[in-house]
Amino acid sequence: MNAIVSVTSDWAIGNQGALLVRNPADMRRFVGLTMGGTVLMGRATFEGLPSGPLKGRRNVVVTSDPSYGLAHGGIEVAHSPSQALSLVERDDPDAVWLIGGARLYRALLGHCTRCHVTRNHTLVPADAYIPDLDADPAWELERVEGGGVTAEGVPFDYATYRNLAL
C-alpha cells in the first residue's frame, strides 16, 4: 500500500475539514497515481469529497459508525483500520492508496511502503497533521521532483518517502 498526501512545511494537511493549499497540479497528480486503484479514506475525508465516491477507483471508507454506508452507493465500508486492511489484502499493493484523513494516516502509515508527498512550502492555520516523515527514522526520503508555484504563489515539490521497516 502507498500513501499520498499534500502537506505544508509543518506537515499540516487540513483545517476544519478543508485542504490547505489550492493546487490543481497536485490534484492532477493525485488522479493520475490513484486512477484504477483502491483508495482508503476516513469518513470525514469521504464526506469532504465534492462529488461523492472517486470515479474510476474502488472506494473504501473507514468509520466506527455501524450503520454508515447504507445511504452511500459506490463505497465499501470498514469499521476499523484493520478491517480496511483485510478488505484490500488481495489487491495489488502498489494500487492501494491511503488518502486520509489525519487519524487514518496515523493508524495505517506504518503499513505503507511509500508515501507520496506534495510539499507546499508555506505555513497556514491548520488543525490536522500527519507525522513528520523527515523526523521519523523509519522513513527515508527517496527522491524529490520539481513541482512549481500555485496561482496563489506557493512553491511546491513532490517528495517520495520509503518505509525502511517494510
Handedness of CA 53, 96, 2, 55 (dihedral sign): negative
What is the tens place of the pLDDT at every residue in 34-44?
A: 999 999 999 99
Decide: helix, strand or coil at residue 141.
Answer: strand
| pLDDT over threshold 90, residue 102 | yes
The amino acid at 5: V
Measured CA to CA, the distance from residue 77 to residue 79 in angstroms comes to 7
CATH 3.30.559.10 matches 2-163: no
pLDDT at 70: 64
Cα–chain-centroid distance for residue 98? 5
The amino acid at 72: H
| pLDDT over threshold 80, residue 163 | yes
pLDDT at 72: 74
pLDDT at 124: 97
Assigned C-alpha cell, 17 = 475539514
What is the tens place of the pLDDT at every residue in 59-82?
A: 999 999 888 876 677 899 999 999
Mean pLDDT for 121-142 is: 98
Cβ(17)–Cβ(44) below 8 Å: yes
Measured CA to CA, the distance from residue 149 to residue 164 in angstroms comes to 31
